[in-house]
Amino acid sequence: MKISKYGLFRVAVATPETRVADVEFNTEKIVRLVEKSSEKGAVLLVTPELSLSSYTCGDLFFEKKLRSEVLKSLELIAAKTKETSTAVIVGAPISSNGRLYNCAVMINNGNVEGIVPKTYLCNTNEYYEERWFSSEKDRVEDFISLGSNEIPFGADILFEISELNVKIGIEICEDLWAVIPPSLGMASAGANIICNLSASDEKLEKMQLRKDVVKMQSARCFGAYLYSACGPGESTGDLVYSGHSMIAENGNIISETERFSFKDQLIVKDIDIDYLEDSRLRNNSYGFSALPFDYRIIPIAFDEKNTDEIYLNIDSTPFIPKEDSNAYFREVIDIQTTGLAKRIMHIGCKNVVIGISGGLDSTLALLICASAFEKLNLDKKGIHAITMPGFGTTGRTRGNAEKLADLLEISLKEIPISDSVLQHFKDIGHNPETKDIVYENAQARERTQILMDYANIVSGIVVGTGDLSELALGWATYNGDQMSMYGVNAGIPKTLLKEVVRFKASSESNKDISQVLLDIIDTPISPELLPADEGGNIKQKTEDKLGPYEVHDFILFHLLRRHFSPGKIFLLAERAFAGQYGGEQLKSWFKLFYSRFFSQQFKRSAMPDGAKIGFYGLSPRGDWRMPSDATAVIWLKEIDEL
């Protein structure tokens, strides 16, 4: 498989074992890392600042012997890139016209393609770079002679692999920490891969700062940032170097090395060029961020390798955080609570009406109502929870709804709908034994009518309970549960919603409330519109008809956040759910998702207000503006061809 077909570009970042001023040893280590990178299918390898000589040579940089050995090493490494088809960027002291520069050297396909000098020399505290090196700002030539070759020279160089839509920019260590890093201009000129050859020393608390700076620069550039740092083999006369190398992608650290290891370290990742391109297209600030800097574009040839592996962090539940999740869930609740509280304040009402079923969605919505009333110091008796048992209501869900309302000390009212729906069937001439869409939707619309009219009685608003996953699939009855006066769950996908309720259960001081919430979590997801089985258990299970919500949320995440094609999402899903779902199963659920996503847009076009929670949403007034009559033909065709 050629991963470039899916917009992926494989890179490697290394922290090689180093000996100070031992160019031959350092070269051998780099050559071996080029081989390892090639074996893993990497197109590009980045090594640390002055990696051929080592960073801490001091006045040895003035020694002609050291510099001549470095030039010999460039030839050896060039030969290796010809053999392996992996480009490598090495750090080297390069002299020209009586000046010595701290440089990054791009080597590919047997050639030195370009040399980039450091712009901002570090000359504070423990650093003395200006003692040995000149800056890019002192440069007077655009080319350097290496043997018989004239090599492009300057910080105004970008390297391009046009076939992959890849542009590579290079900055060196302190460049990143400058007020206006060179990488900002590179990104404005189209560079989506920024490489940094660094010699960042280690001090208390610097590690997190370094990570934050790298992460933020990748976000500001809407790009990937490959950061390679010198390891502990450097001189420890005054400083210690930890070898903290990283790969960041658009604001996220996706891989990093172990610190303080004396062994060679190599991290390999696939950079998602499609994702970066989409991020730039969707953000106007990128389009207006161009700096007045002209760049020379150096074309780079590449030979992509076939691979069965994908070096991506593929998460089967991408909406659910893996770190500091409790803080994340608290913030979800705070956003929901504040959104509803603001709406209540604006209207000036002291009552809300909510239909509760004992299911997940209405449970979280009810908890948010209670939280909003507490925030506004309102009497929780102004929360009017209504249970509306119908043909499919079970004792378990009904009981949980009643228990929760009682434990939260809110108003609870039961209004059965069976008689009114049967009368409605009689009025419209529908046979109640025909359990079709009319049978189901009539119940949903009857419930909404009750909620709306009761809200008029108490001078309140109806709080909607439907979630983001249901909005995506159109799993709601138009002008039924699709409608409310404020939808508190509109920005939360089903998989996240479940974990937020679980968090509430674990953090709740009242153990009775916790017990009810945990039982609701374990209850099968169902609209309960069809009669229960002979044992009184839920017979109509949503995921039996639609497929697992975790799969639909996986598709939804990569559609909303990254705008990937169905084929690319399927490739990721096969790996994310390997051993759990088969390819044909996934394919059927993909077809169902895309069919419903397009055909049900009309429901989203008429959806009520509801706060956006994460970096995603389906509001027609916000993140997703799609005509209701758009066709899914080309998306479904791609799925058929998988």
**Secondary structure (3-state) at 113:** strand
Tokens of 547: 């497929």
Contacts of 51 (CB under 8 A, 6+ apart): 16, 18, 26, 30, 90, 91, 92, 197, 228, 230
Assess whether 173 carries a catalytic annotation.
yes
Helix (H) or strand (E) holding 395: helix 395-407
Q: Cα(131)–Cα(58) distance, rounded to whole angstroms? A: 9
Quickly tell me which residue has 């992996």 as its tokens: 86
b/e sequence 595-626, b meaning 16+ C-beta within 10 Å: bbbbbbbebbeebbebbbbbebbbbbeeebee
C-beta of residue 305 within 8 angstroms of C-beta of residue 166:
no
Q: Which of 17, 29, 36, 49 does the annotation list as catalytic?
A: 49
| Burial status of residue 451 (CB atoms within 10 A of its CB: 0-12, 13-18, 19 or more) | buried
C-beta of residue 582 within 8 angstroms of C-beta of residue 642:
no
Q: Cα(46)–Cα(87) distance, rounded to whole angstroms? A: 9
Assess whether 118 carries a catalytic annotation.
yes
Sheet of strand 383-387, all strands in order from the earlier edge strand to the far edge: 411-414, 383-387, 352-355, 461-464, 486-487
| Angle in degrees, CA 452, 388, 481, rounded to 5 | 50
Sequence letter at residue 168 = I
Q: Cα(93)–Cα(112) distance, rounded to whole angstroms? A: 14
Q: Which of 57, 103, 122, 173 does the annotation list as catalytic?
A: 173
Q: Cα(555)–Cα(22) distance, rounded to whole angstroms? A: 51
Q: Give the β-pairing of 486-487 and 461-464.
A: parallel
C-alpha distances (whole Å) from 497 to each of 19, 320, 467, 529, 570 are 53, 9, 8, 22, 24
Contacts of 180 (CB under 8 A, 6+ apart): 291
Sequence letter at residue 159 = F
C-alpha distances (whole Å) from 367 to each of 410, 440, 504 are 11, 27, 9
Q: Cα(471)–Cα(123) distance, rounded to whole angstroms? A: 57
String of DSSP letters for 365-385: HHHHHHHHHHHTT--GGGEEE
Tokens of 619: 């509001």
Of the candidates 164, 144, 141, which has an alpha carbon nearest to the alpha carbon of residue 44? Answer: 164
Q: Which of 29, 80, 118, 603 does the annotation list as catalytic?
A: 118
Tokens of 153: 């020279």
Q: Report how far Cα 618 is from the mean position of its chain's Cα atoms.
A: 17
Q: What are the backbone angles phi and psi of residue 593, rounded to the nearest 5°?
A: -60, -50
Q: Give the β-pairing of 296-299 and 157-161.
A: parallel
First to last CA, the chain: 14
Q: Cα(13)–Cα(155) distance, rounded to whole angstroms? A: 21
Query: Among all residues, which ones are annotated catalytic?
Result: 49, 118, 173
